[in-house]
Structure 1
């Protein structure tokens, strides 16, 4: 069994200390094989905010991490920095690679930098990025869970969120589906959900799912949804039958801990049954 923990939109600079402590306890208890941070790591891309994010990752010890930038991770109020060195603080904290990847016998995770300094909040994926990701996906083994990480969503559940959709998503979803992607992880809108992309985009050749995360640590929560993370479990199974589940864990103000509140059981291959959703409790 492979465990992947997705956290997003931490917005260090607006983090809640009790939630930070609770998430560190959860990660220690779960011992995931990989922690993915899907953008908006900081609130305003300042050095001290990146330093706080770096300290959080360092507290995970040997747990591998994969970090992609969000629109909040490039300077907003410093036009010179935004124009000439928009990722300097991010790279100082997390390294030069803005599109990192992680691979194990059971897992392939590919990060995509969808931010653009010339855009304020909108994200974009280029044909070059689409082809690069597709090439890596096509080389994956049959046993691997194949995951792409963007910041902005490729599909939304509400009309008011359509303005936040990733530019270039139609070409990306179609091409990555043909290349064998299973999941596309995103954040940006602080709203957790799972959507079947094979029902959202016409003509996809295989099942593929959008997995969106809420804000993991920030006080900038949305509506009635508290801080939230996703735990993805993957089992290659016998005879190549692959199964995955996405568990949503929300922070409980009463318990001061993250608790699982829902689970989506996903079909990764065309011959398997459709999604089943289980509510915890």
Structure 2
């Protein structure tokens, strides 16, 4: 069963070496098709922090599919923020701020939801919505279609409402109509899985929001330790039977390792080809 590893909000500059080493061991053991690095890679977008993050990515055995988060734009250096907001990010992770990853089982389409003029919250433009939808429509019946944003389209707690993605309603409607199975994100350091139709009426009940916690940072919430998500694809060859298994792996200080603490089997829409 092929898998993806979602690593979000590592906030290099606040990383915990023991947790980082445990995550590297997990990544090597899983041998995922790709590692999804869903933003807030650094704490303050310094070159030193990006260099540490790049070194981490190079130690993994899988392709890294990365997008920036709001912390990956310089905050206190106004000239850099306005005139070269992604300069340091691109030095470390390349000029493509919205990479696409595809293999037999997965189609991953990423969205840069950060803006230099927004401090924390993000947005998605109509052009981005259409670009993602067009790429989703090209997926094979077998592929699990994953959209990656930094800021969430859905939250579960009132205190997180201000962190929701601007433009989310139009984006979710368009992307799920184009076949998105999962919209995965980070930003709020709270892992959960919810059906999108819980907040967006009209969405298919087989489309899901998947959120990850902070992978290695000290910036954990009181009730959510360092954690990552593992996504596993199950599908018949023609796409008639499709399931995505979402596993939550939390770091255990006692075990000095990431351990699986939850597993959900998410039914996905049939994408069977016509005979």
TM-score by length of 1: 0.94
C-alpha distance in structure 2 between counterparts of 1:204 and 1:22, whole Å: 37
Instruction: For structure 2, list consecutive stretches of 5 or more residues without a partner in the other structure.
Output: none
Work out the number of aligned pairs and report it. 270
| Alignment partner, residue 173 of structure 1 | 172
Q: Is the 8 A contact 2:247 2:264 kept in 1?
A: yes
- Give the RMSD, CA atoms, in angstroms: 1.2
C-alpha distance in structure 2 between counterparts of 1:270 and 1:199, whole Å: 20
Mean alpha-carbon deviation: is it higher for 243-252 or for 229-238? 229-238
C-alpha distance in structure 1 between counterparts of 2:249 and 2:105, whole Å: 23
Q: Is the 8 A contact 2:142 2:238 kept in 1?
A: no
Shift of 1:105: 1.7
Q: Check if 1:252 corresponds to 2:256.
A: no
Question: CA 1:270 to 1:106, structure 2 compared with 1: closer, same or farther past 3 Å?
Answer: closer
- The superposition leaves residues 129-178 of structure 1 with CA deviations (integer Å, 9 ceiling, x where unpaired) of 00000000011111000000000000001111100000000000000010
| Alignment partner, residue 279 of structure 1 | none
| Alignment partner, residue 51 of structure 1 | 51
Q: Is the 8 A contact 1:46 1:89 kept in 2?
A: yes
Shift of 1:106: 1.2
C-alpha distance in structure 1 between counterparts of 2:175 and 2:145, whole Å: 10
Q: Is the 8 A contact 1:206 1:270 kept in 2?
A: no
C-alpha distance in structure 1 between counterparts of 2:99 and 2:145, whole Å: 14
Shift of 1:236: 1.4
Q: Check if 1:64 corresponds to 2:63.
A: yes
C-alpha distance in structure 1 between counterparts of 2:104 and 2:212, whole Å: 25
3-state SS, counterpart of residue 37 of structure 2: strand
Aligned pairs (5 A) from 1:150-169 = 150-169=149-168
Instruction: For structure 1, list consecutive stretches of 5 or more residues without a partner in the other structure.
Output: 272-281
| Alignment partner, residue 128 of structure 2 | 129
Shift of 1:270: 6.9
C-alpha distance in structure 2 between counterparts of 1:29 and 1:104, whole Å: 20
Shift of 1:66: 0.2
- The superposition leaves residues 113-139 of structure 1 with CA deviations (integer Å, 9 ceiling, x where unpaired) of 000000100100000000000000011
C-alpha distance in structure 2 between counterparts of 1:22 and 1:205, whole Å: 37
Mean alpha-carbon deviation: is it higher for 262-271 or for 202-211? 262-271
| Alignment partner, residue 140 of structure 2 | 141
